[in-house]
Amino acid sequence: MSGLRVGVLALQGDVREHVRVLSSLGASVVNVRRPQDLEGIRGLVLPGGESSVIDKLARAYGLRQPIRDAIAAGLPVLGTCAGLILLADRVGGAIAGQESFGGLDITVQRNAFGSQVDSFETELAVPAFGKPPVHAAFIRAPLIERVGPGAHVLATLPDGRIVAVEQGALIGLAFHPEVTGETRFHQRFLGTARRFASKTDAPQGPRDRAAAAINTADATRGRT
């Protein structure tokens, strides 16, 4: 996966930790702070941090709608902790005016495990990965309260509470694999990004080129 161009939303939160993991796996990483930074990336990580702050900054920098559009277009996205909240279609405990990018058919509850002092680490069985279990750090973590038919569960706590889901090209985690040395979720994300890149970057056939030419001509006529 050397050279695969992916982005990390770099407005607030544990950006450097994700950049370090992705770089160690051979990706070419872009810090996304402006809409133009999304150009050419084949995947995006939404890091942990403060979801309401990231939401406000994304709107202030004109990123909210471009990210929403990219998700709708199939861009692979990995969201951890606050990133999970930003990917959720429904958010409980949101502050006034807070919005998410959406994409995951789930309901999450912010700060479901309590405050910073209630943070904890545990081992998670992830059937998609087999053994060994995932060592997960929960830091002021959200909880996935409901999962719609579009998403499926990747991991739960021993008591059955859901902490990881996947839906198409989107992965949402309530915990922080980037701070515990766990790389398998990032590897899974990069695998999805690589498949997305192979489709996006595939050479166009004659029919595709003709359709593109028609679209360009239509757009040009619309501007005149």
Write the CA distances from 224 to 188, 216, 217, 218, 220, integer angstroms.
46, 13, 11, 10, 7
CA-to-CA separations, 139 to 55, 144, 182, 189, in angstroms, rounded: 19, 15, 16, 22
223 labeled binding residue: no
Phi, psi angles (nearest 5°) of residue 140: 45, 50
182 is annotated as an active-site residue: no
Q: Are 169 and 74 in contact (CB under 8 A)?
A: yes
Output the CA torsion sign for 45, 152, 85, 80: negative
Nearest-angstrom CA–CA distance, 111 and 82: 10
Q: Annotated binding residue at 172?
A: no
User: Among residues 81, 166, 182, 186, which one is catalytic?
Assistant: 81
Name the active-site residue from 17, 18, 166, 178: 178
**What are the tokens at 177?**
């694999």
In the residue annotation, 17 being an active-site residue is answered as: no
Question: Is 146 labelled as part of a ligand binding site?
Answer: no
To the question of whether residue 160 is assigned a binding role by annotation, the answer is no
Active site residue 178: yes
Is 140 annotated as contributing to ligand binding?
yes
Q: Which residues pair with 9 in a beta bridge?
A: 32
CA distances from 72 to 64, 69, 75, 129 (A): 12, 5, 7, 27
Catalytic residue among 17, 18, 166, 176: 176
Q: What is the dihedral of CA 163, 13, 11, 86, to 10 degrees?
A: 20
68 is in an annotated binding site: no
Task: Show which residues are catalytic.
Answer: 81, 176, 178
Q: Binding site membership for L-glutamine: which residues?
A: 49-51, 110, 139-140
Q: Binding site membership: which residues?
A: 49-51, 110, 139-140
